[in-house]
Amino acid sequence: MLRGKSVILRRIEKVDLWQLWQWHEERELYLFEELDQLISWDEINQDFMKYFGWKGYFLVEDKGGKTLGVCSYKDINWKNRSCEFAFQLYETEQTSAIDTILTLLAFLFKELNLSRVYSFVPVFFLFENQAFKKTGFIQEGKLREAIFWDGKYHDILAFAILREEFSPEEQ
């Protein structure tokens, strides 16, 4: 469990799956992003460990225990000391988003001793893009028409932050 100023990041448990599935179905969260086909609740429930067994997935809660969304890190490259970062909050409140990012970044840079953290975010995820910029991530590029969503192609923005650029005290 990781504690921020206003949020707690805890491991996703099977009891959380129904809430995550509901958010996924409402298309408010971009969960199960590796899927390129429709998948049923039964398949997700059966394959819980496939999707959330990796210890880098967290449920984001406020200090009162209200579930706000999810965040994760994956694809750690130990040689280059880097990993991919992702987050999505169902409750789009800027303070919680910033604290979520800063809490996980502090863990990645201080505990795992990573040097670089990057993220790929669809251009239409305005809330997430703004939160990454506010926490020191730099937009490094754009993958043109890289995702098909709601009947059309969209760009994906590439963001990254280096350990020496990370200063949670200034945010």
pLDDT band at 20 (very low <50, low <70, confident <90, very high): confident
Mean pLDDT, all residues of the chain = 86
Pick 155 or 169 by higher pLDDT: 155
> Which amino acid is residue 7, in one-letter code?
V
Residue range 63-77, pLDDT digits in tens? 998 989 889 999 999
Question: Which of the four pLDDT bands, split at 50, 70 and 90, describes residue 47?
Answer: confident
pLDDT digits (tens, 9 = 90+) for 118-157: 999 999 989 899 999 999 999 999 999 999 888 999 999 9
The residue-averaged pLDDT of 28-42 equals: 55
**What's the confidence (pLDDT) of residue 27?**
56
Q: What is the DSSP string of 85-112?
A: EEEEESS--HHHHHHHHHHHHHIIIIIS
Q: pLDDT at position 35, please?
A: 47
The burial of 46, by beta-carbon neighbours within 10 Å (0-12 exposed, 13-18 middle, 19 or more buried), is given as exposed
The CATH number given to 2-116 is 3.40.630.30
Q: How far is CA 25 from CA 70, 89, 91, 92, 152, in A?
A: 15, 15, 16, 17, 19
Are 81 and 115 contacting, i.e. CB atoms less than 8 angstroms apart?
A: yes
What one-character DSSP code corresponds to residue 162?
E
Instruction: Give me the residue spans of the domains in the chain.
Output: 2-116
